[in-house]
Amino acid sequence: MAGKRAEPRDATPLQTGAPAPLQERRDDTEERRRDGAERIGPLQLERLRKADGRALILYRATASPDE
């Protein structure tokens, strides 16, 4: 059976100037408003704790990033 696979020359070289590890990275869309509201991109977050201690996050769309 004939087989075909991508040739190495087609490959994009691995990036050598690697981004920082996530531990050192910050989400540049993250914003904490003066009123304590947390936003990620177009979403607003509400962090809650369930009765048994488990984390719960509610995400809702914001009408505008500047609202």
Instruction: Rule CB under 8 A: say whether 41 interacts with other proteins.
Output: yes
Q: Which of 19, 58, 27, 61 is nearest to 42 (CA)?
A: 61
Q: Which of 46, 21, 28 is nearest to 36 (CA)?
A: 46
What's the closest the beta carbon of residue 20 comes to other proteins, in angstroms? 7
Instruction: Rule CB under 8 A: say whether 32 interacts with other proteins.
Output: no
Distance CA 67, CA 65 (A): 6
Distance CA 57, CA 63 (A): 19
Instruction: Rule CB under 8 A: say whether 6 interacts with other proteins.
Output: yes
Nearer to other proteins, 7 or 66 (CB): 7
The residue ranges that bind other proteins (CB under 8 A) are: 4-8, 10-16, 18-23, 25, 27, 40-43, 45, 48, 50-52, 54-61
